[in-house]
Chain A
Amino acid sequence: MFRLDNAIENWKQQLLQHQTMTAADMEELQIHLLEEMDALTATGLNQEEAFLIASRRMGNPNEISCEFAKINHGVIWKNRFFWMIIGILILQMFSSCASFLARGGALIGCQLIGWNPLNAGVISAVIQITVLICLFIAFYIAVVPLSLLRKIPKKTLIGIIIVATALNFLLNHAAGMGYNILIARFFSVEQLGQFALGCSYSAMGLSVLWPVVWLVLLLWLLPGKKRIA
Chain B
Amino acid sequence: MEISKDLIAASATPLILSILAEGESYGYAIIKQVAALSAGSMQWTDGMLYPILHRLESQGLIESEVRTSDTGRKRKYYRIRQDGTAAITAHQAQWQTVYETLRKVWETKLCFD
List residues of chain A with CB under 8 Å of any chain B CB: 25, 27-29, 31-32, 34-36, 38, 57-61, 63-64, 67-68, 70-71
A67 touches B48 (CB 8 A): yes
B45 touches A27 (CB 8 A): no
A59 touches B28 (CB 8 A): no
B51 touches A31 (CB 8 A): no
Q: A28-B76, A31-B74 are in contact. Are A36 and B50 (CB under 8 A)?
A: no
**B61 → chain A, closest Cβ, in Å?**
14
Which of A28, A57, A60 contacts B50 (CB under 8 A)? A28
List residues of chain B with CB under 8 Å of any chain A CB: 27-28, 31, 45-48, 50-51, 54-55, 58, 71, 73-76
Chain B residues, Cβ within 8 Å of A67: 47-48, 51
Which of A27, A35, A64 contacts B48 (CB under 8 A)? A64
- In the complex, 24 of the A-B residue pairs with CB atoms within 8 angstroms, ordered by the A residue number, are A25-B54, A27-B74, A28-B27, A31-B74, A32-B31, A32-B46, A32-B47, A34-B73, A35-B73, A36-B28, A38-B71, A59-B45, A59-B48, A60-B45, A61-B47, A63-B45, A63-B47, A64-B48, A67-B47, A67-B48, A70-B51, A70-B55, A71-B55, A71-B58
A58 touches B73 (CB 8 A): no
**Cα separation A71 to B47 with both chains bound (whole Å):** 14
**Cα separation A71 to B27 with both chains bound (whole Å):** 17
**Cα separation A58 to B75 with both chains bound (whole Å):** 17
**B49 → chain A, closest Cβ, in Å?**
8
Given contacts A36-B46, A61-B47, 17 further A-B contacts (CB under 8 A): A25-B50, A31-B28, A31-B73, A32-B31, A32-B46, A32-B50, A35-B28, A35-B73, A57-B45, A59-B46, A60-B45, A63-B48, A64-B45, A64-B51, A68-B50, A71-B54, A71-B58
Chain A residues, Cβ within 8 Å of B55: 70-71
B75 touches A31 (CB 8 A): yes
Q: A27-B74, A71-B54, A71-B55 are in contact. Are A58 and B47 (CB under 8 A)?
A: yes
**A200 → chain B, closest Cβ, in Å?**
55
Q: A32-B28, A35-B28 are in contact. Are A57 and B46 (CB under 8 A)?
A: yes
